[in-house]
Structure 1
Amino acid sequence: MTQRERLMPDNRPSVIKSHTSEPYAAGQTGAGQTLRHDFSLSAVLAGCVAVLIGYSSSAAIIFQAAAAAGADQAQIGSWMWALGIGMGLTSLGLSWCHRTPLLTAWSTPGAALLITQLPGVPFEQALGAFVVCSLLLMIVGVSDLMTRLMNAVPASLAAAMLAGILLPFGLDIFLAMEAEPLLPLTLLACWIAARRWLPSLAIPLVLIAGLALSLVSGQLDTSHIELALTTPQWTTPEFSLNVCLGVGVPLFLVTMATQNLPGVAIIRTAGFQPPVGSALRWTGIASLLMAPFGGHGINLAAISAAPCVGEESHPDLRRRYIAGMSAGVVYLVLGLLGSTVTALFTALPDTLVMSFAGLALMGTLGGGLRSAFQGDTDLDAPLVTFLITASSITLLGIGSAFWGLIAGLVVHLIRKSRP
C-alpha cells in the first residue's frame, strides 16, 4: 500500500496509509514554503511531459478550430499565443498560490465543438462567444457550485472516471504496434527497465529513446520548421445573441463537463483538496483577457495533468506543485513561439506520440484503478463509471467522462438506498 506524508497540526510530518488519509489541503504550512527547498528535477520533468502530451495530442485540433472560425495565419498564431500565455500564467499562479499542482489547459473538446459550429460565423462574433463562455466560468467560480458538486462525488467514482479517461491511452501503446512494432516495443522495453533501476527518470528516458529512434529512422523531419516569435493580434469581439447562445453556452457546458469536472477529479484522486472556486475564477479571468487575441478558453487540465499530480512527479505530494509551475514556464515559452513550436510538436511521428503518452500515463492509470476498486466499496458504481468513460461515447455533444460519472452516481444512489 502506497504511503503518503501529510502535515499534522503540530507541523511534524506523519506517514499514514493512503486509504485513510485526508486530501492534502491547499495552502498548508510545512513543505511548499520555498522554491529552493521544494525544487526537484523529477517535478520539472513531469511538468514538461504534461505540456508535451497536451500539445502533441491536440494542437492540430486547435488549428482546425481557428480555421473554422475564418482566422488567417496571423490570427491563428495569435490564437496559439493567447492560449500559451494564458495557460502559463494560470498554471504558475495557481500552483504557487495554493502549493498544489494545478495545471491548466485549452479545451480540446471545446475546440472540436467549434470546428462544427463556427463555419459561417464571423471571426469577431466567435470571439464574442468566447467572452460569454469566460463570464459563465467566472460566475460558476464565484458561486462555488463546482465545489459543492465535487464534494458529493464518492472518491471511488472519481478514480474510476480517471481510469476510464486514461485507459485508451494505455491501449494505444499496443495498438500502435500493429502499424509499426519497433518503436512502441523499444519504448516499452525502455520503460520497464527504467522503472526497475531508475524509476524517477523513467519517462524522460523513454522520451529520449523515442526521439533518438525517430531521428535515426528518418521519421522526425524538422527541416521545414523556422524559429520565430509570435505577434499577438487584437480583434474587437462582436456580440450576436444567436452566436452567443449557439456557441458560447455550449462551449461553456462542454468545458465544464469534459475538462473542469474530470480535472478536479484527477487532482482529488491524487490526494489533494483542489481550490475549485479559485481555479475557475483564475481561468475565467484569463479566458476573458485572452479572448480578443483568439483564445477560445482556458480550464483545468484533465489528461495532461496526470503526470504532475502523480508520484512520478515527487514522492512527497506537498512538493508536486513544482510540476505545475514548470508546466507554466513551458507554456509561456511555447506561447511566445506560437506556431513555430506547434509545428515542431505536429512533426513528431504519430506512433511516438501514442506510445509516449500511454507510458507517461501508465502509473496514474494504475493508481486510478487501485483507488476505484480497492477495499470493501460496492464495485457496481465504479465499474459502470469506468466502462462508460472508457467507451469514449459522445451524447448530445458531451463526452463519455461526464456520462460515466452521471451513470455511476445513479447506480451509487440506487445501491445506497436499497433496504
Structure 2
Amino acid sequence: MFKDFSLQALFMGCLTAFVGFASSFAVVLQGLKAVGATDFEAASGLMALSVSMGLCAIVLSVATRLPVSIAWSTPGAALLATTGVIEGGFPAAVGAFIICAAFIIIAGLFKPLGRAVASIPAPLANAMLSGVIIGLCFAPIKAIGFNPALGLPIILAWIVVGAFKRLFAVPAALVAFVLVMIFGVDIPAGAFDALAQSLTPPMEWVTPSFSLHAVVSIALPLFIVTMASQNIPGIAVLKVNHYDPQPGPLFATTGFFSILSAPFGGHAVNLAAITAAMCAGEDAHPDPRRRYWAAIIGGVGYIILGLLAGVVTAFVALAPPILIQAVAGLALVGAFSGSAVAAFKEPETREAAAITFLVTASGLSFAGISGAFWGLLGGGLMMALQRAVVAIRARSLK
C-alpha cells in the first residue's frame, strides 16, 4: 500500500481537502443555523461532518483501493437553509438527520429502494435542487445592496479568479471575505482572544427527538437531494474515470458515518462529485491504481480542518450574516446553473420541472412541510398526468 504513495497524490489530496472545505463550509453553517442550531452547535456539526467524511474517505479508499472522495451534503445544507426551524427545534432536526442516514443505509443494502431513488426523474430532482439553491444565490447581490464596499470585493475576487481558474474562484472569494473582515468590519475588542480560546475542537451532543413532521420536512427531502445530487453522481464520476465501484456498500458506509456525526449536529456525509473528479483524474497520478492515495490524503486534510471548526465558526460569527451568505451563494452558483440546465433540458418534462422548481423556490410551507417536498410531489403529479394523456391519445389513434 505505501509503495503506491506519491507526491502528486499528496498535493492533490491537500488541494481536494482545502477546496472541499473552503468552498462550502459557509453553506453548512448557514443551513445548520437556519434549522435552529446555536453558533456552538453549528461549529460542532461542522467539525463532526468534516471528521466523519475524512474517516469515511480513508476507510473506503483503503478498503477498495479506489479514490473514493467523501463530502458533506452541500445541497442538503442549502435545503436546510430554506427549511427554517421546525417544531421541536434543532433536536428534531438532528432526529431527521439520523432518519435520513438510516434511509441511505437501507438504500445501499436494500437494492429495490436504491433503484427507486435512482428512478426519480432527473429533471424533477434537478429542479428541486435548483429551487432550493436559488435563494442563497441571490445573497451576493443582496450583499452589494447591504454595503458595496464589503460585498463587491468578494464578488470581484470570485469573478476575476474564476475567469482564469474556476476551481479557485470560491477559495478566492473566501480570502476576500477574510480581508474584508480584517480591514472593513469593526471587530469588537477581545474578539481575537475569543478566537484563540476557540482552538479547542467544538463538540456538543444534541439529544435527538423524532417526529413525523421532521421526517417529511427534513429527512425525506434531505435523503432525496443527497442521493440524487451527490451519491449517484459520485458513482458516475468514478465510472467515467474507468473505475468499477459497488454502489451499495459505498452508500451504506456513508450512511453509517452520517449516523455517527448526526448527534453532534452533522446533517449528512456522502460520495463527493466535484472533488471526486480531482482525486480520480490524471492530475492525482498517471497510474489509476495509485490515485486512491489522493482520497486518503484528502481525508486526513478534512480531519485536520474539522478540528479547527471552532476557530472558523467563531471568526464567521463576527461578520454581518449577509457576507457569509454571499460566500455561500457564490459557492452554489455552479450547482444552480448545472441543475437548472439539466432540469429544463428536455421539452417533454419542462412543465413538470417548472412546477417543481417554482413550488420549491417559493418557500411554500403547507401543514408544516417544506416546499421541497411539495415541489417534488407537484412536479411528479404533473409528469404522471402528461404521460397518462399521451398514453390515452396513443390508444385513441389505434
* Aligned residue in 2 for 1:355: 326
The percentage of counterpart residues that share the same residue type is 25
Say if 2:114 is the partner of 1:147: yes
* Aligned residue in 1 for 2:226: 263
Q: What is the 5 A alignment of 1:236-275?
A: 247=210, 251-267=214-230, 268=232, 272=237
Distance across 2 between alignment mates of 1:171 and 1:150: 30
| Aligned counterpart for 2:125 among listed residues 158, 173, 198 | 158
| Aligned counterpart for 1:103 among listed residues 68, 71, 76 | 71
State the number of aligned residues: 362
CA, structure 1 residues 189+52, in 2 after alignment: closer, same or farther (shift >3 Å)? same
**Per-residue deviation, residues 43-78 of structure 1 (Å, max 9, x unmatched):** 44431224522444245457x5479xxxxx8x9987
Distance across 1 between alignment mates of 2:293 and 2:126: 23
Distance across 2 between alignment mates of 1:147 and 1:318: 32
* Aligned residue in 1 for 2:371: 400
* Aligned residue in 1 for 2:25: 52
More moved, 208-217 vs 271-280: 271-280
Q: Is the 8 A contact 2:53 2:302 kept in 1?
A: yes
* Aligned residue in 1 for 2:345: 374
Distance across 2 between alignment mates of 1:53 and 1:256: 21
Task: Give the structure with the higher percent helix.
Answer: 2
The secondary structure found in structure 1 opposite 2:134 is: helix
The secondary structure found in structure 2 opposite 1:348 is: coil
CA, structure 1 residues 322+232, in 2 after alignment: closer, same or farther (shift >3 Å)? same
**Per-residue deviation, residues 148-204 of structure 1 (Å, max 9, x unmatched):** 222222222222222222211221111222221222222223322223334332222
Distance across 2 between alignment mates of 1:118 and 1:197: 43
CA, structure 1 residues 195+230, in 2 after alignment: closer, same or farther (shift >3 Å)? closer
Read off the aligned partner of 1:164 and give its amino acid letter. G
| Aligned counterpart for 1:218 among listed residues 168, 185, 196 | 185
Distance across 1 between alignment mates of 2:115 and 2:8: 34
Read off the aligned partner of 2:26 and give its amino acid letter. I
CA, structure 1 residues 231+100, in 2 after alignment: closer, same or farther (shift >3 Å)? closer
CA, structure 1 residues 43+327, in 2 after alignment: closer, same or farther (shift >3 Å)? closer
The secondary structure found in structure 1 opposite 2:268 is: strand
CA, structure 1 residues 255+189, in 2 after alignment: closer, same or farther (shift >3 Å)? same
Distance across 2 between alignment mates of 1:76 and 1:308: 23
Say if 2:88 is the partner of 1:117: yes
| Aligned counterpart for 2:134 among listed residues 153, 162, 167 | 167
The secondary structure found in structure 2 opposite 1:103 is: strand
Q: CA RMSD in A?
A: 4.5
Distance across 2 between alignment mates of 1:323 and 1:164: 33
Deviation at 1:387, TM superposition (A): 1.4
Read off the aligned partner of 2:126 and give its amino acid letter. A
More moved, 271-280 vs 162-171: 271-280
Read off the aligned partner of 2:370 and give its amino acid letter. G
Read off the aligned partner of 1:177 and give its amino acid letter. I
Deviation at 1:344, TM superposition (A): 2.7
Q: Is the 8 A contact 1:48 1:330 kept in 2?
A: no
User: TM-score normalized by structure 1?
Assistant: 0.67
Q: What is the 5 A alignment of 1:18-57?
A: 40=12, 43-57=16-30
* Aligned residue in 1 for 2:268: 299
Which sections of structure 2, spanning at least 5 residues, go unmatched?
Answer: 240-244, 285-290, 394-398
* Aligned residue in 2 for 1:387: 358
Which sections of structure 1, spanning at least 5 residues, go unmatched?
Answer: 1-32, 68-72, 238-242
Q: What is the 5 A alignment of 1:54-93?
A: 54-60=27-33, 64-65=36-37, 82-93=48-59
Distance across 2 between alignment mates of 1:95 and 1:393: 41
The secondary structure found in structure 2 opposite 1:379 is: helix
